[in-house]
Structure formats: C-alpha cells, structure tokens
Amino acid sequence: MEIEDLLNPDNVLAGFRASSKKQALQALSRHMAEQVGVDCRDAFDGLMERERLGSTGVGHGVAIPHARMKGLDRIVGLFAQLAEPIPFDSVDDQPVDLIFMLLVPEEAGADHLKALAKVSRLLRDDRMCEKLRATHKAPALFAMLSQPATNAA
C-alpha cells in the first residue's frame, strides 16, 4: 500500500484554516463528502466517536483522525497543512498543524491498520514534516507525500 492508494491531489489542502479540532474535523468531513460521496454528517460523527476513545493527535504537531464508514469501497485519505496550529488534545499536549484523515470501509480489517501504519511512518519522519510545513502549495505537498519511501530505516 502506497500513499497514492489513499490520497489524490484533490484531497491535499495547503494553508487550511480552523480554530479548533471540532471545526477542523467538520470542515475536512465536508471536503471529503464532496470528493468521495460519503455523508458529511456520518464522516464527522465517526471521526468524533473515534476521538472520544482517545485523541488521534499522535504528537509533534501531527494528527491522524480516522473512522470506519458504511458505503465506502476503499480507504480514502485527506491531508491538510494548517495555516496555524490548533489544540488537538495530542498525546504530547502540543498543537497540531499537520492532519492526515482516513475514512475506511467498515469491513477493511487489516487494510485499516496497514493504512494507519503507512501514514504514521511517513509523518514520524521529522525531516518530512519540516518539508511539509515549509511548503505552501497543494501540488507540492502531494508530490512530497507520494514520493516512494526511502531505504533510510
């Protein structure tokens, strides 16, 4: 599984503006609903339900909100680089400025975990995150995100 399997250029947002986690998840759910034809409210409700289990703010300014959804036939992602960091109840109590959202078919099983692992590995790379924060054009962000993984393990 590669990032391009999860993400397309229309689902990469640069300079995204939100003032709170809830507002960000609402707006990103709306965007995803327009792009992939899911119900906006269902997407938002699923994301908020997952946040109630524990924050998807994984630290270092990164969040990976995700939810299972009825009616999806594949895993879909959205990346947002925020114009200003927002509080996200992250594990390190730091605000978030990079969000990679995943919506997953209800029956995805192991593929859900593979997608989360792929995104997590990508965004654990401090150099990658620095580059993503320094870039302000969506096409350039997509190009960075979809680069083949290097062998620097």
Residues classed as catalytic: 66
- What are 66's strand-pairing partners? 102
Say how far apart CA 40 and CA 97 lie, in whole Å. 22
Q: What 3-state DSSP class applies to 9?
A: helix
Q: CA-CA distance, 39 to 116, in Å (whole number)?
A: 22
Q: What residue has token string 């959804």?
A: 69
Q: Which amino acid is at 141?
A: L
| Residue type (1 letter), 16 | F
Distance, CA of 95 to CA of 75 (rounded, Å): 26
